[in-house]
Structure 1
Amino acid sequence: MVKSDTTSVNRKTEIISAAIEVFAEIGYYRATTAQVAQRANISQPYIFRFFATKEALLLAALEVSWTRIIDSFRLVVDSASPERLETSLSGAYEDIMKSYQNETLLQMQALTIQEEAIRESMRCGFREVRHIVLEAFRSAGIHNPEERTLIFLARGMLCNISMAVGLPELMEE
């Protein structure tokens, strides 16, 4: 029984990874569950064993991407000195963008999707990231933590745009 549960968890993870790739490459609306299944080397009906709809699959993919950022930021907050906090958070996000570019592209696409469940997922993710950064800046004694948080998040979005359109000079200081 345990082996079956482990296999199911692994398959679900593989499906989510395939969905992230497919959605990032061709867009959520153009992508089909058949394309996701092909990428995951499974049959299309098998996807529906784990996800009732394509939207549910997108929500799971977004959860993976937000969890990666949130967990990474929490690790930084727990280990970085107050003097290095902002730089360490930026570095952690840059590492995520390099290693998980498709997740960044997926989140950017999700910003334009009007289905309420997707919008709520994005709001929750941004709220949590903002909360972590703001509380960390406050705890570190950073002057005007609300404004610094706003600037930090704005720079993150500019990083996303820079990566998505292949315009690194947007990030030159």
Structure 2
Amino acid sequence: MIKIPKFFHEILGEFQTKSTLVVIALFVLISGFAIGILSYDEWKGLPLVKQIITWILFLDISGGIVANLTKGTDIFYDRYPRKRWIFIAIHVQPVILSWSMEISIHYGVMICAYTLISAALLNLIRDYSIHNLLAGSLTGLGLLIAAYLGQEAPFFASTLFIFYIFKVLYSFSVFHHKGGQNEH
């Protein structure tokens, strides 16, 4: 087990294995390389500041997809319910992405509102047996919304909207390691 420095607890939890860190890094690198090539024409003409912000959002969202599924991050947020609420509240990336990719702000607001309201609901019912089933359903509906809105948005943006919904509603909102809190 690798002890994670306190500064990175909100991203990676208090501990991780070497293999989970490798998987997170590989996912970010491979998906970043793929989206960078596939959507080059969409982001190459953006002002440099907006390109940098767009790629920082990509790193945050894509890394979070995998990191939030890890035991270390999952258990960290289970131990600190207040930090779960803060995590939900600060995740307004679709609005920022709409600005940085120069697309209609309405797309980002709709994706963000749907996801944050759903995440809040899931956080409220975290201890109920229907939680995982509802999380899957809300994630699926969110992906449907993102796919529909994605018809009008650039590939890069629609991909990040999909990644964001999956990250917040499924990777983060579902407690994947119940019963494993004391096992490191």
TM-score in terms of structure 1 length: 0.33
Answer with 1 or 2: which has the greater Rg.
1
More helix by proportion, 1 or 2? 1
TM-score in terms of structure 2 length: 0.31
Bigger relative contact order, structure 1 or 2 (CA pairs below 8 A, ≥6 apart) = 2
